[in-house]
Amino acid sequence: MHQFAIEPLFGSDNWSIAGHNIAFTNSALWMALSFGLLMLFVSGGLKRQLVPGRWQMAVESLTGFVDNMLATNVGPNGKKYVPYVFSLFSFILFANYIGLVPLGLIGLHPYTFTSHFSATGVLSLMAFAIVLVVGFAKHKLHFFSLFVPHGTPLVMIPLIFVVELISFLVRPFSLGLRLFVAMMAGHVLLEVLSSFVITGGNAGAVTFAAAAVPSFILMIVICALEILVAGIQAYVFALLTCVYLNDAENLH
């Protein structure tokens, strides 16, 4: 489908470093756009007024939300991860939302880079790498006690160790997969419904009334659902990152 196609922009097809193509794709463009909007949004709230205005209040409630999430999930040790989790959360949130903006009305093609596993996979691998680095730096080899919950009977230890190890190792995969599939499935659903509207509308008055109009109403409702899902998925990604960081910081 065209909305998921990655293509080089601005004639950058042949840019390369050491044989690897580094063309500036539409994916990179929307990442930059998401980052730029985020910078714009946050920089509007950095005036440090004593009585915050509306903009500063919006920025402060977003940072306060992430701060609170880390405080409840990781505890006092989680304070140092606030910058990372805040960037992660708001980057994904902005990316999900700008991908839903109906720019097609003015002839542009919105693109959601979170609907590609290569983008979400890297984000989740970064979270996993931080967990490994922090866990081993802080607890040394004692970190392996994460795989044996406290109070496990001796005979169960080999089995529990394997199960816990597998559940630990699939984390980066499941974290990236969830965001990618949720965004991609939502966009595919909208595209299928819109194709119902268009082909049904072209097939005569009866099909228009019986298929196109109900599809259009359903599509409006699904759009509202997608806005909800875009927020929830960004929240879930950040929340699970916090939970994994909690494992690394405090073990069990």
In angstroms, what CA-CA distances link 238 with 56, 62, 83, 84? 22, 13, 12, 10
Displacement of CA 235 from its chain's centroid (Å): 8
Asked whether position 82 contacts other proteins by CB under 8 A, the answer is: no
Which of 29, 235, 247, 251 lies at the binding interface for other proteins (CB under 8 A)? 235
Which of 38, 181, 211, 251 lies at the binding interface for other proteins (CB under 8 A)? 181
Instruction: Rank residues 134 and 179 by Cβ distance to other proteins and give the closer one.
Output: 179
Which of 177, 189, 211, 223 lies at the binding interface for other proteins (CB under 8 A)? 177
Asked whether position 163 contacts other proteins by CB under 8 A, the answer is: no
Which of 174, 195, 199, 202 lies at the binding interface for other proteins (CB under 8 A)? 174
**Inter-axis angle of helices 157-169 and 171-202, to 10 degrees?**
50
Displacement of CA 95 from its chain's centroid (Å): 8
Is residue 60 helix, strand or coil?
A: helix
Asked whether position 178 contacts other proteins by CB under 8 A, the answer is: yes
Q: Which residue has the tokens 């044996």?
A: 148
Instruction: Rank residues 146 and 236 by Cβ distance to other proteins and give the closer one.
Output: 236
Asked whether position 185 contacts other proteins by CB under 8 A, the answer is: yes
Asked whether position 225 contacts other proteins by CB under 8 A, the answer is: no
d(CA 175, CA 138): 24
Residue 178 near residue 236 (C-beta atoms within 8 A): yes
> Under the rule (CB under 8 A), what is the footprint of other proteins?
69, 72-73, 174, 177-178, 181-182, 185, 232, 235-236, 239-240, 243
